[in-house]
Amino acid sequence: MNDSIFTRDRLINLALIITTMWFIWFAQHFFDEYTIRIMNNVAIFIILAVSYNLINGITGQFSLEPNGFIAIGAYVTAILTVDADGMLYQYDIEDPYPWVLALQANFGWALFFSGTISALLALSLAFPVFRVRGDYLAIVTLGFGFIIRILAINSPEITNGSLGINDIPEASNLYWTGGLAICAVLAILNIIYSKYGRAMKAVRDDEDAATAMGINTFKIKTMAFTTSAFFEGVGGGLLAALLTSISPDLFTFFLTFQLLIIIVLGGLGSTTGAILGTIFVMAGLEYMRFLDEPMNLLGFETDAMPGMRMVVFSLILIFVMLFAREGLMGKKELKDLFKKKKANK
């Protein structure tokens, strides 16, 4: 290896980060509102997809819970940033608890608490969740995600029940979403390339063998689960501040399904794949809007068909699973692509 601190990989990374930062600055100043909104969405979903990929793709634990953690993050940010007057005005079902009114924080701290509370919840859920494996784990996490939503509906003193929280200050801009997306990607890549990341991959490939090699698989799985919950919470907070109104209906299994398509399309286990998958799926959802609207097919007028996009997306998911199980990137990262080219020469 090169002893200099400027190795080739590091220079490429640095160049990528600086380009992305410049692009964010450029976009914030020169792009129109619609494009910026989509870019905000893409940045938030990059955070969500990359962290979801950490538990699903890298560690191989098929969690279906991100909607729960995103909901927690979104509600924490909403409660911390909406002021007391706004809450008293909105909470129609029950009066909010005094502590709900008293808790206030600026946006940065709110995001931090969103992540921390999600992570703490993940930490405590890890004990029941990781007693089971494989498809049972999928169902248990699905159940917890569902229970979190039911709790949100049934505690109107905290969450305003099914009405949700409105008039959340619109604090998300490209600096926040893009900046945090860069941070999340870097943090998760650093975890993946650390000894913990290698242990996570070992757990994915063969859990029994990993145990035999002296890896504390429970600890490793919990670490991946908690980290991914932290970033999902932060992403949820950003989402709340972007949409400015949230309700339990936003955090159904559908959200998890979207993330699942993203990481499967990108390639389970590849961070680069998760980012590419996010861009493809989010762009696809925007461009395929026409599918939901009335169409003129060879003289036939069809009615508006809300849901057509999702039919297409579920077909894509099935298709990818049947014919291209590796997705776009497989388990490879961007720098592995460079390496391969070099080897071929």
Interface contacts to another protein, rule CB under 8 A: 60, 62, 128, 131-132, 134-136, 138-140, 142-144, 146-147, 150, 153-154, 253, 257, 260, 264, 268, 305-308, 310-311, 313-315, 317-318, 321-322, 325
CB of 192: closest distance to another protein in angstroms? 19
CB of 336: closest distance to another protein in angstroms? 21
Q: Which is nearer to another protein, 218 or 253 (CB)?
A: 253
Count of Cβ atoms closer than 10 Å to residue 57 Cβ = 28
Q: Give the separation between CA 20 and CA 228, rounded to whole angstroms.
A: 23
Strands 295-297 and 300-302 turn out to be: antiparallel
Distances in Å between the Cα of 257 and the Cα atoms of 61, 64, 103 are: 16, 8, 33
Q: Give the separation between CA 104 and CA 96, rounded to whole angstroms.
A: 14
Cα dihedral 245/64/333/182 (nearest 10): 30
Q: Which is nearer to another protein, 39 or 137 (CB)?
A: 137
Rg (CA), the chain: 21
Q: Which is nearer to another protein, 21 or 312 (CB)?
A: 312
Residue 173 amino acid letter: N
DSSP code at position 251: G
CB of 89: closest distance to another protein in angstroms? 24
CB of 158: closest distance to another protein in angstroms? 14
Alpha helices in 65-106 (DSSP H): 66-81, 84-90, 98-102
CB of 246: closest distance to another protein in angstroms? 19
Q: Which residues are CB-neighbours of 300 under 8 A, at least 6 positions away?
A: none
CB of 279: closest distance to another protein in angstroms? 21
Q: Give the separation between CA 51 and CA 74, rounded to whole angstroms.
A: 16
Residue 202 amino acid letter: A
CB of 134: closest distance to another protein in angstroms? 6
Q: Give the separation between CA 102 and CA 235, rounded to whole angstroms.
A: 24
With contact defined as beta carbons under 8 Å apart, do 78 and 165 qualify? yes
